[in-house]
Chains A and B, each alone.
Chain A
Amino acid sequence: MAETPDVLQTLQAALFPQHLLAVHQYRAQPTVLLKREGLLEVARFLRDEETLQFNFLMDVTAVDYLKFGKSLASAPTLATPAPLPYYMMPKPQAEAWERGVSNDDYRFDVVYHVYSSVHGHRLRLKVPVATADPVVPSLTGLWHSANWFEREVWDMFGIRFEGHPNLRRILLYEEFKGHPLRKDYPIRKRQPLIGPVY
């Protein structure tokens, strides 16, 4: 874990400033924001570079930022004119988190968590994706685990992975309409009944 700042330094120094959108660390977890075009190149570098060796692709998921910070409950108070009581005030943070890109331009983040069992460090890669063109290059050629994880992201968010050998729905069924983890999918939406009719 102690090497995490080095990870970022190696990344920044050795490679691709043209691909990096932002680099930051929050709660001791480093995050790299990448442009979509650079994902494959950077991922391959992360996996193969001697000092990094991220041999595990632990997790692939996505976040839909459509309603980020806009819900009624995320307002500081609910129609309470007085300031928050002391114990509800957020403690001053040594570090501030920010997304790095605008939520309006880029609706989704595809989030990759990689882990190196050799050095014992973790890194989070994020690739912002716009609503109009939700496509990301597939990492199935680099890690086998990407296969199912990317299918799940397609299933839940409708983000396509270019070059994926078998991009089918995984948890839901083929007749399902819409992608349920998108923030504009209503939680009570009904789906058509499928199956054999007797």
Chain B
Amino acid sequence: MTPSATLPADPTRVTETRHMFLNMGPQHPAMHGIIQFILELDGERVVGADAEIGYLHRAFEKHGEYGPYNNVIPYTDRLNYVSPLINNFGYCLAVERLLGIEATERCQYIRVIMSELSRITDHLTCVGASGMELGAFTVFLYLIKAREWLWELVEAVTGARLTISYGRVGGVKADLPPGFAERTRKVLEQVRGVLLECDTLLTRNRIFVDRMQGTGVISKERAISYGITGPFLRGSGLALDTRKAQPYFVYDRMDFDVPTGEHGDNYDRYLVRMEEMEQSMRIVEQALAQLPGGPLNVDYEGRVLPADVMVDQAKMGQVAGFRGVHVALDPTLEGSTRGFHEAVNAGEKRAVLPAKEDTYGNIEGLMHHFKLIMLGHGIRPPQGEYYSAVEGANGELGFYIVSDGSDRPYRVRVHPPCFPIMGAVSEILVGDMVADIVPTFGSVNMIGGELDR
């Protein structure tokens, strides 16, 4: 049989098309965070997606049940490791509400300031990393430089960059260092400059806009149904912010706006984050201006000392302080000296540890310390439960705590803000191209620490 010059019209020789399955991750250079996407592809278009999470699971909730209330605080640092201060304060707030105590006013302001600085670092990381993944490496370097300045501030206050453990039930570990306000204002000016620079580099950049606009779209209704909160929801057009809706700390005294997008795509979420950083800086500036002195009445120059402090110091043998020579502990390392400690911690002996000076220096302080630290004593909220929500950088960060009257929490549940977002991502990705996964996933700002706990 001679072969024909053209192929015969054979109906069985049709080119077959099949969907391709592609594993993206758990390790992938364009994705920050360990996560696996199982993608079903029709050419380059995603027709189905499934997200596998849990690679960073480290039993936070189980650990929380096995130690006293204060032992959970270091674990909360590792939840959202880009803005650990918000997690600290969220947990402390939940325990305080469960106990029915209130932190001092100065402490509330400090918490607001530190939360907002953390929010800025978080958004800087998110925007910078998304920019880098889309090729804008310069932006990443600039924003990380700005984040570095803010982390230096955090370091000056807490003594650490990430493992800060700065929150305390009923207060914070230490007061702000001297000169903090001026330093912060200066840093915020610099950060504004960097943001302006990055705004000119990104916001009207053709490449960036083309990759971001119209990708990763989620409607307002879908976002609500998925339980999404934070910048991701606000990008879809609902101005929901826990700081406004149910103010905690002293957010009700702050004047700030809640930016919203309207298309619910990656570009709107980018704009929302950029604007939120500006709003956070406004809050920090207002809080610094309003920061009250609190009950702090000790003059550290050694000139004015109230009588009771004087007596206590004499008990400790610090007679030299009366003549104007005063040794102040570094608040970032040793805990606060007494005057500072009173200013930033509630005077609630059921829950708040005494100043280190007292613990080491007099028997009452030592006993008080003992009753809060030793096994079987400690903070004992009455039987009950409380769900407290704070606005984390990614959305509503909730802590649900159940107490059975013992010194350790019976159940600590974290409502991680990026968990519902990741639940929705497999739907958001469908219909987009493979390349669009990168900006979409970048705008989710997945933080493995809080997603997998």
Residues of A within 8 A of B (CB): 1, 26-27, 29, 31, 55-59, 61, 63-64, 67-69, 71-75, 77-78, 85, 87-88, 90-91, 93, 97-98, 111, 113, 117, 120, 122, 124, 143-145, 147-149, 152, 156, 169-173, 180-181, 185, 187
Contacts and interface: CB of A to CB of B under 8 A. Distances in A.
Given A72-B376, A171-B53, A29 B400 contact: no
Nearest to B367: A85
B98 interface: yes
Given A57-B227, A144-B227, A145-B226, A113 B375 contact: no
B375 A56 contact: no
Given A117-B240, A144-B424, A147-B423, A88 B371 contact: yes
Interface string B339-375: 0000000000110000000000000000010010001
A44 to B, nearest CB: 14
Interface string B224-263: 1111110000000010100001100000000000000000
A60 to B, nearest CB: 9
B399 to A, nearest CB: 10
Size bin of chain B's contact surface = 35 or more
15 contacts: A27-B97, A58-B398, A63-B410, A69-B406, A73-B375, A87-B371, A91-B350, A93-B382, A97-B384, A117-B224, A124-B387, A147-B423, A156-B61, A171-B453, A172-B54
A90 B225 contact: no
B406 A74 contact: yes
A170 B35 CA distance: 12
A124 B228 CA distance: 18
B404 interface: yes
Given A29-B387, A68-B410, A122-B387, A145 B423 contact: yes
Given A26-B385, A71-B406, A144-B423, 20 more contacts: A26-B384, A29-B386, A29-B387, A56-B227, A56-B229, A58-B396, A58-B415, A68-B404, A72-B376, A73-B406, A73-B407, A73-B408, A74-B404, A74-B406, A75-B406, A111-B400, A120-B246, A144-B226, A147-B423, A156-B61
Nearest to A93: B382
A113 B385 contact: no
B382 A97 contact: yes
B285 interface: no
Contacts of B407: 73-74
B160 to A, nearest CB: 27
B195 interface: no
Q: In the A-B complex, list the 5 residue pairs whose CB atoms are closest, starting with the nearest.
A: A145-B227, A74-B406, A78-B376, A97-B384, A148-B423
Residue of A77, A87, A122 with highest tally of chain B CB at under 10 A: A87
User: Which of A63, A91, A144, A170 is most buried by chain B, counting CB atoms within 10 A of its CB?
Assistant: A144
Contacts of A117: 224, 238, 240, 245
Contacts of B246: 1, 120, 122
A87 B364 CA distance: 12
Interface of B: 53-54, 57, 59, 61-62, 66, 97-98, 100, 222, 224-229, 238, 240, 245-246, 349-350, 368, 371, 375-378, 380, 382-387, 389, 396, 398, 400, 402, 404-408, 410-411, 413, 415, 419-420, 422-424, 452-453
Contacts of A113: 387, 398, 400, 415
A56 B224 contact: yes
Nearest to A80: B376
B225 A143 contact: yes
A158 to B, nearest CB: 14
Contacts of B423: 144-145, 147-148
A139 B281 CA distance: 40
Nearest to A117: B240
A185 B386 CA distance: 24
Nearest to B386: A27
Contact of B53 (A69, A98, A149, A170): A170
A118 B340 CA distance: 42
Central interface residue in B53, B229, B382, B424, by most chain A CB within 10 Å: B382
Nearest to A143: B225
A148 B53 CA distance: 11
A59 B396 CA distance: 11
Contacts of A31: 385
B8 to A, nearest CB: 47
B406 A55 contact: no
Given A58-B396, A59-B415, A88-B350, A143 B387 contact: no
A69 B383 contact: yes
A88 B380 CA distance: 8
B422 A173 contact: no
A144 to B, nearest CB: 4
Nearest to B57: A171
Contacts of A56: 224, 227, 229
A152 B398 CA distance: 16
Contact of B404 (A1, A71, A88, A147): A71
Nearest to B247: A1
Nearest to B424: A144
A70 to B, nearest CB: 8
Given A90-B382, A91-B100, A85 B222 contact: no
A148 B422 contact: yes
B225 A144 contact: yes
A97 B383 contact: yes
Contacts of A170: 53-54
B375 A87 contact: no
B381 to A, nearest CB: 8
A112 B301 CA distance: 54
Nearest to A87: B349
A122 B238 CA distance: 18
Nearest to A69: B404
A91 B402 CA distance: 18
Contacts of B411: 63-64
B251 to A, nearest CB: 14
